[in-house]
Amino acid sequence: MTDAHMRAWPQVSTRVQELHARMRLEEKLAQLVGFWIDHGDEVVAPLAGEMTAGAPTRIAEVTEHGIGHFTRVYGTRPVDPAERARWLWEEQRRLLRETRLGIPALVHEECLTGLAAWKAACFPTPLAWGAAFDPDLVEEMASLIGSSLRTLGVHQGLAPVLDVIRDPRWGRTEEAISEDPYVVGTVGTAYVRGLQSAGIQATLKHFVAYSGSRAGRNHAPVSAGPRELADLFLPPFEMAVLDGGARSVMNAYNDVDGVPMAANAELLTGLLREEWGFDGTVVADYFSVAFLALMHGVAADRGHAAAMALEAGIDVELPSGDAFLEPLAALVRAGEVDETVIDRAVLRALAAKEEAGLLEEEFTAEPPSMIDLDTPAHREVARRLAEESVVLLSNDGTLPLAETAARIAVIGPNADRAEALMGCYSFPNHVLAHHPGVALGIEVPTMAEALRTEVPGAEVEVVRGCEIEGTDTTGFAAAIEAAERAEIAVVVAGDQAGLFGKGTVGEGNDTESLDLPGVQRELVEAVVATGTPTVLVLVTGRPYAIGWALDGPNRPAAVLQAFFPGEEGGPAIARILTGTVNPSGRLPLTLPRSAGAQPYTYLHPILGGPSGVTSADSTPVRPFGFGLSYTAFGYSGLSADRAVEAGGTFAVEVTVTNLGEVAGVDVVQLYGRDLLASVARPVSQLLGYQRVALRPAESATVRFEVPTARLAFTDRALARVVEPGEVEVWVAASAGEKVAAAVAEGIAELSDVEVASAAGDSGGDKALVTVTGDVHRVSTADRRITTATVAR
């Protein structure tokens, strides 16, 4: 056995060792692949049609030597959950009876916005989790998803997505949580904890830098350097592994500086396993092993692609055995591939099955005869998360709607469509789009239906006006007439999530423009021009360049942003429109000025912002963390520890007060800036955050305990360190406040960071913390999570 094959050799139980010792080559390889149940003509993975053509379809034939995974038993086509569970239990029994070793299959499913199965609850998309800034509620949601998976005999969930958003033109923006790695890490880790509390193995994806693709294109190369990888893309994965105990990781499709992630031993083994101590399984994103030959051109054929992936640290090929079966077996028999590299992966795969209870499961009990995947508990959490995630971007006082409103016109392509409320990986948009005659299987009230329920005394007229895409404006006349008859017009515009060109956002639906799709802007402007007070509700999977709607001369009276809020999204938005719920969502990413200003992040150094030395303007329309309320909050009494040793923890306190006349929830945001460092640092960095609910005139003191590891960065020697020096800290209602004072005077008018927010005011307070001692080299033992306590 070579040193390379010995790297990160798994420590497994005696039971696993003995089982492995009995295995023949074909049985080993069978444990390292999946079998995609019922895959037909539906394209729900990249190049699925091409990759599955000619693949064996008879389950008995494919599983002759056993099988590692059953791929998407419930999530490939609409099947009744109870009937499918009975089928699955019998197939597991058949594996016990008819294969030599009697090892059941590990079953995995997609579960990004809830279990992706017919009749299962559909929760808000991850971008909405980021907007809620509420890890505890995300953990509660994930535990419910996990319980649904467990009921159906599923063992592994392919979520969460921990990609840090870099460019909103990327179609998978709606699957990601935020542009801030700390928000991604804290919220994503909460999801891991919730899912795994139900006994489901969470799968972190996509490892790593998938979202950093050039021009926001799916599967495109990534040009990130080692510092950007270490400081921006990797921290969420590190948090989810070290703090969340994630049991599985999935590689990304991209290459980084020419090295495909499916063949990157430095990261998949050196960092993930040897440095972080990860001891779970690494599963291949669908077809990514074969893509080493077909799309990256670094392997001569699928057999050599398999060897390359195994050497790098991938353990299981999904969704099927395109490379790990016959192509790899032929190379082993020819003596070109050492079987020990297969042994390493097999031991990990068997350990995962042991952990899931599969090595002792006999499936003697019957599955539940009645299965409810959308219980009142599911819907209650879906509603709360949707309500917390909606962001109020502007309001001239029109909202909340007057209780006496008698005539409401609900206009727009998303006004009366259930599918508009759900993301790309929801079952309705991911699978049912290929089965137009099949009912949704769950209740999803549309915006129009929800308003009728929320305002029962009002006459609600619904007019589509235009489609999501296309240039047809013939519906404008009816929309204008409806608006003129109404006391208030609500225009519901935005996206349709879909896959690979079937939709405006989602996997494979990247864009070159950040204008609203089709003629939707023209529709909004035509309705506003009627003079009827108009509220624009955006239901989207990415932020669009809507400066015209927020700051233009003929702008709507109010603008709400909802990122695919799920099955309870319609009622949640309606309750916010009427004031039953006070909006508390905050932007989890910058609201862009234009497509040409991308990629952009609030985490930019001085040179990354606008200045007088360039005519190109990167100024965002609204900054990260921005969000209005029907009340106002004020901050006072900021204090912080004056000094802290590098590697220690310092405290920051601030008092937040509800200055208005209605109860509300503020998201208190703590920012910092390293004033002098050995490499360029951001002008503003989120150090911590906390949701705080306050009654009118009520105050609370929020105390943040901040590890100096939150200030860590990769130095010139590529070591992750905390340097001594002065750090400025402040509390603000968004990343756009107080930053101008943090940079040298005379560079330019930094209007991008001076966007006023009626949601709060930090009162001009800043504090200086001095980090003392020597340079502290950060290790995996260093805590990176800021804790917050609230005292009233």
Q: For residue 331, what pLDDT band results from cuts at 50, 70 and 90?
A: very high
> What is residue 6's predicted lDDT score, i.e. its pLDDT?
72
Instruction: Determine the Cα–Cα distance for residues 126 and 160; give it in Å rounded to an integer.
Output: 8
> What is residue 790's predicted lDDT score, i.e. its pLDDT?
96
> What is residue 50's predicted lDDT score, i.e. its pLDDT?
57
SS3 365: coil
Which of 118-132, 236-250, 461-475, 771-785 is predicted least confidently? 771-785
For 46, 263, 301, 477, 766, the CA distances from 297, given in Å and listed in that order, are 17, 12, 9, 54, 53
Given a contact cutoff of 8 angstroms between Cβ atoms, the answer to whether 46 and 68 are in contact is no
For 265, 312, 339, 515, the CA distances from 8, given in Å and listed in that order, are 11, 11, 16, 48
Indicate which residue of 39, 219, 296, 776 is catalytic: 219
| Residue 226 in this model has a pLDDT that exceeds 70 | yes
> Which residue would you say has higher pLDDT here, 738 or 402?
402
Map tokens 């492995």 to a residue. Answer: 20
Torsion angle, alpha carbons of 403, 405, 411, 417, to 10: 40
What is the CA 616 to chain-centroid distance, rounded?
A: 30
| Residue 374 in this model has a pLDDT that exceeds 70 | yes
Phi (first) and psi of residue 676, to 5 degrees: -150, 125
> What is residue 716's predicted lDDT score, i.e. its pLDDT?
97
| Residue 7 in this model has a pLDDT that exceeds 60 | yes
| Residue 745 in this model has a pLDDT that exceeds 50 | no
Q: For residue 407, what pLDDT band results from cuts at 50, 70 and 90?
A: very high
Mean pLDDT of 191-197: 98
322 is known as an active-site residue: no
> What is residue 56's predicted lDDT score, i.e. its pLDDT?
64
Instruction: Determine the Cα–Cα distance for residues 295 and 293; give it in Å rounded to an integer.
Output: 6
| Residue 742 in this model has a pLDDT that exceeds 60 | no
Mean pLDDT of 245-251: 98
Among 119, 117, 122, which residue's Cα sits nearest to residue 77?
Answer: 117
Given a contact cutoff of 8 angstroms between Cβ atoms, the answer to whether 145 and 191 are in contact is no
Mean pLDDT of 673-681: 96
Q: For residue 210, what pLDDT band results from cuts at 50, 70 and 90?
A: very high
> What is residue 748's predicted lDDT score, i.e. its pLDDT?
34
> What is residue 765's predicted lDDT score, i.e. its pLDDT?
87
> What is residue 466's predicted lDDT score, i.e. its pLDDT?
98
| Residue 698 in this model has a pLDDT that exceeds 80 | yes
Work out the percent of the chain whose per-residue pLDDT is above 90. 88
At 756-771, the pLDDT tens digits run 333 334 445 899 999 9
Indicate which residue of 134, 163, 180, 285 is catalytic: 285
Mean pLDDT of 183-209: 98
219 is known as an active-site residue: yes
> What is residue 613's predicted lDDT score, i.e. its pLDDT?
83
> Which residue would you say has higher pLDDT here, 50 or 17?
17
> What is residue 175's predicted lDDT score, i.e. its pLDDT?
98
> What is residue 40's predicted lDDT score, i.e. its pLDDT?
59
> What is residue 37's predicted lDDT score, i.e. its pLDDT?
85
> What is residue 611's predicted lDDT score, i.e. its pLDDT?
79
The average confidence (pLDDT) of the chain is 93
> What is residue 273's predicted lDDT score, i.e. its pLDDT?
97
CB atoms within 10 A of CB 499: 24
Map tokens 């994930």 to a residue. Answer: 142
At 41-66, the pLDDT tens digits run 565 666 665 555 556 668 989 999 99
Given a contact cutoff of 8 angstroms between Cβ atoms, the answer to whether 195 and 140 are in contact is no
| Residue 3 in this model has a pLDDT that exceeds 90 | no
Instruction: Determine the Cα–Cα distance for residues 62 and 30; give it in Å rounded to an integer.
Output: 9
At 490-512, the pLDDT tens digits run 999 999 999 998 999 999 999 99
SS3 205: strand
> What is residue 257's predicted lDDT score, i.e. its pLDDT?
94
> Which residue would you say has higher pLDDT here, 614 or 460?
460
H or E segment to which residue 93 belongs: helix 81-98
